[in-house]
Structure formats: structure tokens, C-alpha cells
Amino acid sequence: MIYNVAGLLSGELGRGRQQQLENERLSFGNHSFTEINGPVRMIRTDRTVLVSVDIEAVTLDTCGRCLEPATVNVSVTLEEEFSPANADLMGGSNDRPADYDDYYDPALVIDEQNFLDLSEALGQALSSAVPIAPLCKKECLGICPTCTINRNDIQCTCAQNTHDPRWGVLAGLLEKGAKSAD
Ligand SMILES: [Zn+2]
Ligand SMILES: [Zn+2]
């Protein structure tokens, strides 16, 4: 996910180019992302390269209900401006503005050799798109709080003994439904 953007930097304002991420992988923090797919668009602005990314990826996590491994699909759209270390290529000066350090983000810099590395910004975006409590499957039954059995594997009898009022309402509705269907 490293692109040489020398041509873009020295080219005309508004010029763009598009790349395609195909089945790329990226490790970031606690996550390893695979099957990263989607377009990467780059446009030269006045002083930066504007990058727009629209991708999907897959990562492995732990199911928030049953604690078994969960395959998680994430999709991310990202729009960031990357600033070149060689500002003179863009016809600007290399003098950094006084407030440069306030805005300086090492993930968003095009290096001295004019390489734009997308992996840090993309890794951050993908990581924050992973849900806090992902599910192994939509209908995961989770772990029984009473006997700690994984209810996806074994159906315990504890649930019948609980008195969650929400189930009472549901049971009532079902009963009504059954009666009106008669
Ligand atoms: Zn689960
Ligand atoms: Zn149980």
C-alpha cells in the first residue's frame, strides 16, 4: 500500500489517479486484516494529495457473546490529505508554517522519496471500524450466565428457570397470536 506519487506532485492541480486494493493484508495493533479490497483514489490539491479509500476487509476477533473466534467483516471509507515532505515539487516552498507541528500527523506524510504509505492511516481506520463486541454469527446464543455452557453447542435448561419480564411479554404476545389464529 505504498505508492510513488512523484508524478502527481509535479503534475497539474486536480489531476488524479486510481489504484485498486486486491486481497491485500495488513496487521495493525491487535488485528490482522485480510481480503482488503476496494478503490484508492488520489487527487493532487493545492498543497496535498487527497486520498479517498472505500474498502472492505476481514479480521478475526472474539465473539462478544460466546467468546469463540468470530470472523468480522469491516468496511471503511476514508478521506485524508497527505502532505509531501518535498513541498517544492508542488511549486511551493519547503518552509513549514508556524503551526505545522499542531497538524503534523506522521501517518499522513509523503516521504522524501515521494512515497505515500497508506498502511498507517488505513490500519487506524480499519481498527476503529471493528465493533467492540463482534458476533460469531447473528443468532449466537452466547454463554449461559448460570451454568457457563456455550449455548451454541449444548442447550442447557437454565433459561427455562429465569424470569426475565421481556420474555413474559413475548410469551403473552405469542399466546395472543396463537389464539387469534385459531
Ligand atoms: Zn458467538
Ligand atoms: Zn445454563
Mean pLDDT of the chain: 86
CA 160 to ligand 2 centroid distance, Å: 9
Reply yes or no on whether the pLDDT at 167 is more than 70: no
| CA distances for 66 relative to 131, 132, 156, angstroms | 15, 14, 14
Q: Please report which ligand is nearest the Cα atom of 140.
A: 1
Q: How far is CA 81 from CA 13, 40, 88, in A?
A: 14, 13, 17
> Cβ distance 162 to 147 under 8 Å?
no
What was the pLDDT predicted at 106?
Answer: 83
- Candidates 61, 24, 63, 18; CA nearest to 41 is 18
> How buried is 35 (Cβ within 10 angstroms: 0-12 exposed, 13-18 middle, 19+ buried)?
middle
Which set of grid coordinates corresponds to residue 109? 506524510
Q: Which residues keep their CB under 5 angstroms from ion ligand 1? A: 63, 65-66, 136, 140
Q: How far is the CA of 172 from the centre of ligand 2 (A)?
A: 24
CA-closest candidate to residue 83, choices 94, 75, 72: 94
Residues 40, 15 contacting (CB under 8 angstroms): no
Q: How far is the CA of 181 from the centre of ligand 1 (A)?
A: 35
- 109 closest CA partner among 81, 89, 79: 81
- Return the ligand number nearest the Cα of 149: 2
91 vs 74: CA distance, rounded Å? 39
Q: What is the pLDDT of residue 39?
A: 97
- More confident site: 176 or 2: 2
What pLDDT digit, counting tens, does each position of 45-63 carry?
A: 988 999 999 999 999 999 9
Asked if 118 contacts 81 with a C-beta cutoff of 8 angstroms, the reply is no
Distance 42 CA to ligand 1 centre (A): 39
**Least confident span in 23-37, 75-89, 98-112:** 98-112
**pLDDT of 172 strictly over 70:** no
Ligand 1 centroid – CA 124 distance (Å):
25
Q: pTM score, two decimals?
A: 0.75
CA of 126 to the centre of ligand 1 (A): 21
pLDDT at position 87 is 72
The pLDDT tens digits of the residues spanning 17-32 come to 999 999 999 999 989 9
Higher-scoring residue by pLDDT: 168, 113? 113
CA of 150 to the centre of ligand 2 (A): 8
